[in-house]
Amino acid sequence: MEQFKGHPRLPKFAVPKRYDITLKPDLTACSFGGSVAVHLDIVSDTRFIVLNAADLSVDAASLSFASSKVLFKPWKVETFEEDEILVLEFGETLPIGSGVLGIGFEGILNDKMKGFYRSTYEHNGKKKNMAVTQFAPVDARRCFPCWDEPAWKKTKWIGHLKTVSFQESPIMSTYLAAVVVGLFDYVEDHTSDGVKVRVYCQVGKANQGKFALDVAVKTLEFYRDYFAVPYSLPKLDMVAIPDFPGAMENYGLVTYQETALLFDEQHSAAANKQWVATAVAHELAHQWFGNLVTMEWWTLLWLNEGFATWVSYLATDSLFPEWKMWTKFLDEITGGLKLDGLEGSHPIEVEINHAAEVVEIFDAISYRKGASVIRMLQNYLGAECFQGSLAAYIKKHASSNAKTEDLWAALQEGSGEPVNKLMNSWTQQKGYPVISVKVKDQKLEFEQTQFYSSGSQGDGQWIVPITLCCGSYDVRKSFLLQKKFESFDIKEFLGCSVAETACRGSLCSWIKINVDQIGFYRVKYEQELSAALRNAIEKKHLSATDRFGILDDSFALSMARQQSFASLLTLLGAYREELDCTVLSNLIPISYKLATIAADAVPELLDLINQFFIGLFQYSAEQLGWEPKPGESQLDAMLRGDILTALAVFGHDLTIDEASRRFHAFLLDRNTPLLPPDIRKAVYVAVMQRVSMSNRSGYESLLRVYRETDLREEKTRILRSVASCPDPNIILEVLNFLLSSEVRSQDAVVGLSVSSKGQETAWTWLKDNWEHISKTWGSGYLIRFFFSSIVSPLASFEKVNEVDEFFKSHPNPSITRTLKQSIEREFLDRMDLVRSRFLDVGFDFRRIGLLVAISVPISLGSFVVGIWDPGGDRAFTVVEQYFAEFVKKVTEANLEGSPNSP
């Protein structure tokens, strides 16, 4: 038996064809028993049958063949827990042919949100258990013995204490099977071609499922037409589970945590409506791309998740065009770029050698980078060609397994383009390029180098679909950059002699590379091109997607020491009248990061830096106001809360005062119109800014609201807010509260984003509670949140070694890659290194402090002053120009006799 230990894949002596499963859950004892009859083919001589099983007690096993009356019973049965396999050894070689393997087993309904587990809910004031499954990626083996690999497709029957038999399923993989046993309400509808769709939820919450139901019906119809293949089952059930880690695309029985499926028209924020729509669209995309056509092995996870992420935006955009989903998609691209810029990243197609490694690739590379390169390819091939080729791929591989090469072959056949060659450079190597652009001797020069957040350069090379605009979105060019370096004559390439209105001399007024930020790469512009783009942003000549892209690239390049922080702060000034939700959703966290850098590098100037960012966001806040406006878009409703949250975090007293007033009104009347759902998080964060051990009332009040509400969205909203307190002692209380029985396991991770003053406290807390945390979350993807929220932000040389040493003495194989990435992020962001970066680029925070001081709002009006970079004459000229404007305004005000004149 020892020969089967340590192998990544199961041997292929036997091939499963069908499973008949009986499950008997005991919701009181939280245990279950069951049996499985596996119809299989013995395809080669063997005395062994090897399949997956974990946390199960096997009490009987036998093998029978239709061709023989002999009942084969194994003389030895052993489970290897480390490899999660069950090995049956028989006394003689098994006959070739079809047979039935019968196995009896028992297990525990665990509290780990994997396998066959228990969730809790309240009904008529009493706490009750329900039994739920979560099998992806490799946990069907915790419910019944099986060939638990995606390439082994099969059928399934299920039941509970009152025996219920279900229609035989289509051929499918084990990880897509599902069981839910509990008490539910539901709402129901049908698609135009007769598919029954239901949303199940806790009793009394049926109305909260109506929005998701409507989205599901319309999305099924959209995918039916887009893939040119109808949904393959007669019904679709979607279930809201109180304890559940995200959402899972089980075939015909899709499971969600409550916040991803339920929407309360009266009490839910606009952002949650968008979240529900995209979550439903994502999981239903899997019914085709993943369930009907399944990856052959977990190395190809991105085929499932990357595609479902991309097409969920396509579907949601078709249902809600006013949401501007392709602008929102930039968040996916940015998330992929951030992780893929680390030297500890991995290729889209990453080799998986053991089931324990699978959970770590459910990350931004598989989902976000995967989705981004698919969109880049669709844009290159054209939407119509892409759709037709995709439909052909689905039809060809329906009810079977496929590899990346199969998708490329379908797209290459449909388009006539070298898709395989083009895309292999993006899926089979980690990282991405930064494209440097400059003008030299009337030539436009492009150079690609591998981008690393550390500032070092890799040796990767890609075939890059380049798109560009020159002075106008009507003047476009596109080409494939296949070499490290290429140059083009401006007059011939851009047609400048023809497009005189878009040009200034021999150079266009502005040139934007990577139009609408569709390509998965960054762009670095020479100084003159960069200044022209900054001017175009100020004059509102660029689209929101391009404004987002320029900002994100500039920030990443500054952090990687490829451009100065001075140039970044100068660029920020161009966004002082920004009103686009998605652009500001990136500008805000960038501002938080820069404020954190300032706090560590020059704490004596932190107040000035905070005033700089307050000035940056005040125009947007004034335009949006506190009150919802009649007929305003959902995007404005979402933006209002984000902007007010930022002002509160930066210590804007007027915002915090108004938030406190509205919060007190809310405590007196939970239905007050002064605190609509879209601004509640902002108000809660503002309240926590003034909480301390000597002034706990705001914190205690929020805990009271948490305990009184039964709306899951409100509970998570409070959890996301309370750790923003600046008092480390309160933060410790919050972190301990997250581990209490009052907080569900999947909700605990949302409360981990502590304020900058609580980072050391959080690190100590993590070490003190690591045994419990590792036991509770250690084998699932949620463990990553503890690293990204607590480990990554740590900021000193000493902490790098301390973190490394701690986890060496507390190893967990399933988080090895995540730990490496977190330590790399910590190394990149630690302030000692950042301080040296400022010296490297000649940036002096003390000098900038004086300029920030005169850029804050004053009675004469607010304007942003350029930044003095001692290493650049041009930057100094900008400061002189702005200062001359400042003096001019002051002089005019004095002549007018303004009582507020300096």
| Residue 653 pLDDT greater than 90, yes or no | yes
To the nearest 10 degrees (0 to 180), the angle between helices 831-840 and 581-601 is 90
Residue 889, domain member (yes or no): no
Are 262 and 247 in contact, with CB atoms under 8 Å apart?
Answer: no
Are 90 and 75 in contact, with CB atoms under 8 Å apart?
Answer: yes
Mean pLDDT of 755-769: 89
Query: Same domain, yes or no, for 377 and 447?
Result: no
For residue 187 the two structure tokens come to 């709402």
For residue 657 the two structure tokens come to 């005062």
pLDDT above 70 as % of the chain: 83
pLDDT above 90 as % of the chain: 50
User: Which of the listed residues 563, 598, 625 is the one where a domain comes to its end?
Assistant: 563
Domain housing 387: 183-430
For residue 769 the two structure tokens come to 């509670």
Q: Using alpha carbons only, what angle is made at residue 350 by residues 347 and 355, rounded to the nearest 5 degrees?
A: 150
Q: Give the span between the Cα atoms of 669 and 678, in whole angstroms.
A: 17
What's the one-letter identity of residue 556?
A
* pLDDT for residue 515: 96
Query: Same domain, yes or no, for 419 and 459?
Result: no
Query: Same domain, yes or no, for 166 and 300?
Result: no
Q: What DSSP letter does each residue of 770-799 carry, written as one string?
A: HHHHHHHHTTSTTHHHHIIIIITT--SHHH
Residue with tokens 């949650």: 272
Give per-residue burial for 573-584: e unless 16+ CB within 10 Å, then b: bbbbebbbbbbb
* pLDDT for residue 102: 92
Tens digits of residue pLDDT in 557-603:
988 888 887 788 889 989 999 999 999 999 999 998 888 777 766 77
Q: Using alpha carbons only, what angle is made at residue 556 by residues 553 and 455, rounded to the nearest 5 degrees?
A: 125
> How long is the chain?
902
Residue 516, domain member (yes or no): yes
Q: Which of 189-193, 642-646, 747-751, 782-786 has the lowest mean pLDDT?
A: 782-786
| Residue 66 pLDDT level (bands cut at 50, 70, 90) | confident
CATH number (domain holding residue 458):
2.60.40.1910
Mean pLDDT of 475-485: 92
Are 86 and 77 in contact, with CB atoms under 8 Å apart?
Answer: yes
**286 annotated as belonging to a binding site for a ligand:** yes
**123 annotated as belonging to a binding site for a ligand:** no
Residue 620, domain member (yes or no): no
User: How many CB atoms are closer than 10 A to CB 37?
Assistant: 17
| Residue 297 pLDDT greater than 60, yes or no | yes
CATH number (domain holding residue 132):
2.60.40.1730
* pLDDT for residue 765: 93
* pLDDT for residue 667: 96
| Residue 739 pLDDT level (bands cut at 50, 70, 90) | very high
Contacts of 387 (CB under 8 A, 6+ apart): 226
Identify the CA nearest to 256 among candidates 237, 273, 270. Answer: 237
Mean pLDDT of 543-564: 93
Are 271 and 681 in contact, with CB atoms under 8 Å apart?
Answer: no
Give per-residue burial for 810-847: e unless 16+ CB within 10 Å, then b: eeeebbebbbbbbbbbbbbbbbebbeebbeebebebee
Query: Same domain, yes or no, for 353 and 411?
Result: yes
Q: Give the span between the Cα atoms of 516 and 198, in whole angstroms.
A: 38
Identify the CA nearest to 241 among candidates 253, 233, 231. Answer: 253
Q: Give the span between the Cα atoms of 223 and 214, in whole angstroms.
A: 14
Residue 900, domain member (yes or no): no
- Number of domains observed in the structure of the chain: 4
* SS3 assignment, position 142: helix
| Residue 782 pLDDT level (bands cut at 50, 70, 90) | confident
- Per the model's pLDDT, the better-predicted residue between 170 and 845 turns out to be 170
Identify the CA nearest to 721 among candidates 696, 689, 743. Answer: 689
The most confident of the ranges 309-323, 400-414, 827-841 is 309-323
* pLDDT for residue 151: 62
Residue 615, domain member (yes or no): no
* pLDDT for residue 863: 39
Beta-strand pair 511-513/253-257:
unpaired
User: How many CB atoms are closer than 10 A to CB 371?
Assistant: 28
Query: Same domain, yes or no, for 296 and 424?
Result: yes
Q: Give the span between the Cα atoms of 690 and 459, in whole angstroms.
A: 50
**Arithmetic mean of pLDDT over the chain:** 84
Q: Give the span between the Cα atoms of 567 and 843, in whole angstroms.
A: 10
| Residue 360 pLDDT level (bands cut at 50, 70, 90) | low
**29 DSSP assignment:** T
Query: Same domain, yes or no, for 31 and 89?
Result: yes
Give the active site residue among 149, 283, 357, 578.
283
Q: Where are the beta strands (DSSP E) in 191-321?
A: 196-201, 235-241, 247-248, 253-257, 293-295
Identify the CA nearest to 159 among candidates 36, 254, 247, 64. Answer: 36
Q: Give the span between the Cα atoms of 72 and 39, in whole angstroms.
A: 15
For residue 358 the two structure tokens come to 């699978």
For residue 291 the two structure tokens come to 């369930």
* pLDDT for residue 491: 77
Residue with tokens 């539910």: 184
Query: Same domain, yes or no, for 259 and 388?
Result: yes
Query: Same domain, yes or no, for 190 and 50?
Result: no
User: Which of the listed residues 430, 447, 475 is the one where a domain comes to its end?
Assistant: 430
Tens digits of residue pLDDT in 274-294:
999 999 999 999 999 888 988
Give per-residue burial for 324-334: e unless 16+ CB within 10 Å, then b: bbbbbbbebbb
What's the one-letter identity of residue 704?
R
Q: Phi/psi at 91 (nearest 5 deg)?
A: -75, -10
Residue with tokens 């730990």: 819
- Per the model's pLDDT, the better-predicted residue between 768 and 822 turns out to be 768
Residue 901, domain member (yes or no): no
CATH number (domain holding residue 364):
1.10.390.10
* pLDDT for residue 574: 92
Q: What DSSP letter does each residue of 660-716 carry, written as one string?
A: HHHHHHHHH-TT-TTS-HHHHHHHHHHHHTT-BTTB-HHHHHHHHHHHH---HHHHH
- Edge-first strand listing for the sheet containing 511-513: 476-481, 464-470, 511-513
Catalytic annotation on 283?
yes
* pLDDT for residue 355: 61
* pLDDT for residue 492: 73
Q: Give the span between the Cα atoms of 688 and 691, in whole angstroms.
A: 5
Residue 668, domain member (yes or no): no
| Residue 222 pLDDT greater than 90, yes or no | yes
Query: Same domain, yes or no, for 453 and 480?
Result: yes
Query: Same domain, yes or no, for 215 and 152?
Result: no
Q: Which of 239-243, 248-252, 540-544, 601-605 has the lowest mean pLDDT?
A: 601-605
Helix (H) or strand (E) holding 181: strand 180-181
| Residue 855 pLDDT greater than 60, yes or no | no
Query: Same domain, yes or no, for 137 and 192?
Result: no
| Residue 838 pLDDT greater than 60, yes or no | no
Residue 471, domain member (yes or no): yes
Residue with tokens 């990243």: 345
User: How many CB atoms are closer than 10 A to CB 470?
Assistant: 24
* SS3 assignment, position 539: coil
- Is the sign of the CA dihedral 730, 731, 734, 736 positive or negative? negative
For residue 559 the two structure tokens come to 């952090």
**305 annotated as belonging to a binding site for a ligand:** yes
* pLDDT for residue 835: 43
Mean pLDDT of 638-666: 96
Q: For residues 113, 114, 116 and 118, what is the CA-based torsion angle, rounded to 10 degrees? A: -10
500: region left, alpha or beta (phi > 0 left; psi from -120 to 50 alpha): alpha
User: Which of the listed residues 376, 400, 430 is the one where a domain comes to its end?
Assistant: 430
Identify the CA nearest to 356 among candidates 71, 730, 715, 781. Answer: 781
Burial (CB < 10 A; 0-12, 13-18, 19+), residue 353, is exposed
Q: Phi/psi at 459 (nearest 5 deg)?
A: -110, 15
* pLDDT for residue 37: 92
Q: Which of 118-127, 155-164, 231-240, 757-766 has the lowest mean pLDDT?
A: 155-164
Q: Give the span between the Cα atoms of 258 and 208, in whole angstroms.
A: 10
Query: Same domain, yes or no, for 171 and 190?
Result: no
Q: Give the span between the Cα atoms of 882 and 851, in whole angstroms.
A: 10
Q: Give the span between the Cα atoms of 640 and 659, in whole angstroms.
A: 13
* pLDDT for residue 781: 66
